[in-house]
Amino acid sequence: MKTRIIQTAPDEPAKSTKGESTASTRRIDRWKASFRRLTHRWSSGSRGRNAILVAAVLGCLALALAGTASASLSQGNQRQDLQRDLDALVAGGAPGAILFVRGPHGEARLASGLADIARSKPMQPNDRYRIASLAKSYTATVVLQLVAEGKLTLGDTVEQWLPGVIPSGADITVRMLLNHTSGVFNYEFDPAVFEPYFNGDLDFYWSPLELIAIANSHAPLYAPGQTSQSTYSNTNYAILGLIVKAVTGRSIEAESRSRIFLPLHLAATTYPVAETTIEGKHARGYFMLGAPPLVDLTEISPSISGAGGAIVSTVADVAEFYRALFQGRLLPPNLLAAMKTTIPSGGDLGQRYGLGLEEYETQCGTAWGHSGSFPGYLNYAFSSEDGKHQAVLMINADPTAMPSLAGFYDLLFKSFCSTS
């Protein structure tokens, strides 16, 4: 596999965003430290694997800043206003961006910038991308469907379904895994997880059991359930994926396809865990190590996220999933209510965490959904409680590629409230 390092015009190192959560900062710092070594090794030429492509990014972006739009809102001025803000987000440092908005006046699918810098390929509204931790809402939905079917309960323990997998498994319940109150260490914070990738092997596959074993090598953060705040850990969802397989005999990918993707006709949504390539038209993902050059990490193995973040989709498919969820097409009312029972999370926007679901307060009311970042991608999904008002925003860069995320967050909230 060839890794592309994209030379950009010199700029100031990316600055941290005010209010960014400690957990998000730690995750990004780990990625930056790991991939700084990766970049050095690939660009040195010692492995014969590198393909260094020089691109004048700002010049390329100028070709795409006009953006593209489809299925427009009936209020043309509003659509144009959102397009200008999306263009400004790209001008501010994002290689490309896509925005989906749905409200009483219809829907808009807007794009700006580039999906592929090296090829000067403009971003399109229906380009696919890695949705990262938004996948936790999908996994949680599958788990809660099994609860609805009487095959599982929220009080079941890890030990009941996965004997010996977690030392404290007898005290950790399914509910604790779903809302991140298990106290289990987040394997992402162990440098060993990224070692294969900064050694140049982007195809390296981690099994869920291997990642859980890495988490087990660290002391728990606290005793199971002994917290008043959600403590984000991908390990929780790696365990949930295995519980789904123990209950059904099928992988979380297969269950997600049959229970969610197919019934909702999410034709652009797939769940690659071992495959590193993204099929079809897609946005390439770029990683910034605090300063140029950008590194193209599109084809890094999604196995590092698994049941917590390996789904590939489009903004429209993401919006359709959340709309179906909140309109009661996937879960019975009591379990949807349980999903929306939240606790503080210490998140970057003050969000609270439920069962695979985040709750945000906006100037126009409560937004439900999730956030997600993966090397090369950042996206958020907001939906009203009835699923009639929605905004999904993505950029094909890690957060540190942006001098500031203020414009991203401003557009996210503005686009959601524009549907009210």
From residue 149, how far is each of 137, 142, 156, 255, 265 by CA, in Å? 18, 11, 14, 14, 22
DSSP 159-175: HHHSTTSSTTGGG-BHH
DSSP 78-135: HHHHHHHHHHHHHHTT-SEEEEEEEETTEEEEEEEEEEETTTTEEP-TT-BEE-GGGH
From residue 215, how far is each of 64, 212, 220, 240, 284 by CA, in Å? 43, 5, 9, 14, 30
Neighbours of 256 (CB within 10 A): 26
Partners of 282 in the β-ladder: 128
Q: Which strands sit side by side in the sheet containing 286-288, from one edge to the other?
A: 50-54, 3-7, 294-296, 286-288
- Sort strands 50-54 and 3-7 into parallel, antiparallel or unpaired: parallel
From residue 121, how far is each of 40, 47, 54, 282 by CA, in Å? 27, 28, 15, 10
Choose the catalytic residue: 34, 72, 112, 133. Answer: 133
Q: Is 120 an annotated catalytic residue?
A: no
Would you call the peptide bond into 375 cis, given omega within 30 degrees of 0 as the criterion? no
d(CA 163, CA 148): 23
End-to-end CA distance of the chain: 46
Active site residues: 133
